[in-house]
Amino acid sequence: MKGNKIHASCKKGYFDRLEKKVPVGAWRNIDHFLVTNNGGSYKTTNHQYKIVFIHTTDITPSTLQEENMFLSLVDFESIQSGKLDTTNLIG
């Protein structure tokens, strides 16, 4: 199975309702959201689109469970050297 990282954003007003539904490392189904262009000065991923949670967004546990984390960690030396793409945010 392959996967890609994608940025997701949420208005402050929806955050309290949704944050407890997405624990780190858990697989979830996400229903009712928008997909928009991922532009701007700071992008958290290379993906051309981002997910936007809206007032009707619902997040539920997924029956799919995959052990691969799909993380692409950056080594510290690459960050310090300044060789990374500055249009992507590393947090």
Q: What is the mean pLDDT of residues 32-52?
A: 86
Q: What is the mean pLDDT of residues 61-72?
A: 71
Q: Is 86 exposed, middle or buried (0-12, 13-18, 19+ CB in 10 A)?
A: exposed
Residue 43 β-bridge partners? 88
The per-residue pLDDT for 1 is 43
Average pLDDT, the chain: 80
Is the overall model pTM greater than 0.85, yes or no?
no
Q: What is the CA radius of gyration of the chain?
A: 15
